[in-house]
Amino acid sequence: MANSNDAALDTVRPDGGELTERQRLILRAVVDSHIKNGEPVGSKSLTNIGGREYSSATIRNEMAALEERGYLESPHTSSGRVPTELGYRFYVDWLRDRYQMTTRELETLNAVAAAKMSELDGLLDTATKLASAMTNYTALAVTPRRSAQTVRRYETVLLGEHELLLVMILSDDSIKTARVYSAQKLDADGAAAVAKTLNTYASGVAADKITLPVIMKMRDELGIYGELANGVMKDVYEAMRGGSGGEVKVDGVNNLLQYPEYSDIGAVKDILSMLDRRDDIVKLVSDGDDNGVNVYIGSENNVDAGGNSSIVFRTIKHNGEVVGAIGVIGPRRMDYSRVMTLIEGLAGSISDAVSRDGQGAADKALPPGNEGDGGG
């Protein structure tokens, strides 16, 4: 149960022992009701809590005590109360029930785990659409910042007399491909020579170390195919840059427009501005806890300036390294129990798919029948 990294916030985070059992039951009932209906909750609607009957006066007194402690607040237009940010935090950390996934949800997650995709990008594209559809919030997938990439291995496949496919297996096991065109007529030996030369001079080497003199040596080694060196190296540089920047994929922005929290134009502008701050989102995920579901409520994150939204995400690991994250953005009155369970399951399914397909992923990037052609 990973949350904000802000030390100042941690100092005011409730420890679970400062409320009575009855106050906890009432706070949970208020949060559950507000999540479901989006309306302030009055004492008369909470007389039966946890199978026990309480008088309206008792509930009212306890709600007043919870408001005094900062867990509830009263909107100006209503005598009912709604949870504060602290109330939601207490709910997420101590009060929420474990959500039981439906058969259909389990089948969806199992289908993701069984997906035959060799690249994480493809899985994340699918996952963002599923997360948005399953939660009815805006989904996001993030590839975090990481150190500069190198290409670990190059393979080539002859596609035609003047075209080959360059397969680049990066240091993080992701795969990039590029089509390379040659003015000279190519054959299998020529394609293999390109892979061999790249593996000799540009394998495991940082982009800034592949200098012009190195490229000139590659041109000489390639002989009649020397003219390919400059074009191929542009593809190599692009692959290295693309593997190290940190990216955010977003799906289902329109989902948020159905919630009253985003009903006015100012709120819409705020959420669009929030989604536009991609570097901040990447940093938030990169700084998050790698070992559980991260929940940032309102102002706990540095992305939502208005403090009206929550972000829930879980990192995805491959060989012990964080390679991405999947999550959602929604209103503070998010259905946390359901969302946290679904995101945990979705991230686990992606990790399973990546781990299963990681071995021999390079072969999956090659056209059928060409596995190993032109390998170095």
Mean pLDDT of 175-204: 92
Shared domain for 16 and 89, answered yes or no, is yes
Please report the pLDDT score of residue 358 as a whole number: 53
Shared domain for 253 and 107, answered yes or no, is yes
Q: Is the pLDDT of residue 362 over 50?
A: no
Q: Is the pLDDT of residue 371 over 80?
A: no
Shared domain for 140 and 277, answered yes or no, is yes
CATH number of the structural domain spanning residue 53: 1.10.10.10
134 in any annotated domain: yes
370 in any annotated domain: no
Shared domain for 57 and 73, answered yes or no, is yes
CATH number of the structural domain spanning residue 352: 3.30.450.40
- Whole-number average pLDDT of the chain: 84
207-264 pLDDT, tens digit each: 888 888 999 999 999 999 998 998 899 889 888 875 445 789 999 999 999 999 898 8
pLDDT band (50, 70, 90) for residue 99: very high
Shared domain for 225 and 208, answered yes or no, is yes
Q: Which residue has the higher pLDDT, 359 or 281?
A: 281
374 in any annotated domain: no
Single pTM value for the model: 0.69
Of the residues 244, 276, 309, which one is the last residue of a structural domain?
244
Shared domain for 169 and 217, answered yes or no, is yes
Please report the pLDDT score of residue 146 as a whole number: 60
Mean pLDDT lowest among 91-95, 141-145, 221-225, 360-364:
360-364
Shared domain for 205 and 250, answered yes or no, is no
pLDDT band (50, 70, 90) for residue 105: very high
Please report the pLDDT score of residue 240 as a whole number: 82
Q: Which residue has the higher pLDDT, 13 or 265?
A: 265
Mean pLDDT lowest among 35-44, 100-109, 113-122, 209-218:
113-122
Cα→Cα distances 119→148, 154, 172, 305, Å: 19, 16, 11, 34
371 in any annotated domain: no
Give the count of domains, the chain. Answer: 3
pLDDT band (50, 70, 90) for residue 368: very low
CATH number of the structural domain spanning residue 174: 3.30.390
Shared domain for 126 and 165, answered yes or no, is no
**Domain ranges, residue 42:** 7-95
Q: Which residue has the higher pLDDT, 332 or 363?
A: 332
Q: Is the pLDDT of residue 81 over 80?
A: yes
59-77 pLDDT, tens digit each: 999 999 999 999 999 987 6
Shared domain for 318 and 348, answered yes or no, is yes
2 in any annotated domain: no
Shared domain for 81 and 135, answered yes or no, is no
pLDDT band (50, 70, 90) for residue 145: low
363 in any annotated domain: no
372 in any annotated domain: no
pLDDT band (50, 70, 90) for residue 272: confident
Mean pLDDT lowest among 39-48, 184-193, 249-258:
39-48
Shared domain for 134 and 279, answered yes or no, is yes
Shared domain for 262 and 345, answered yes or no, is yes
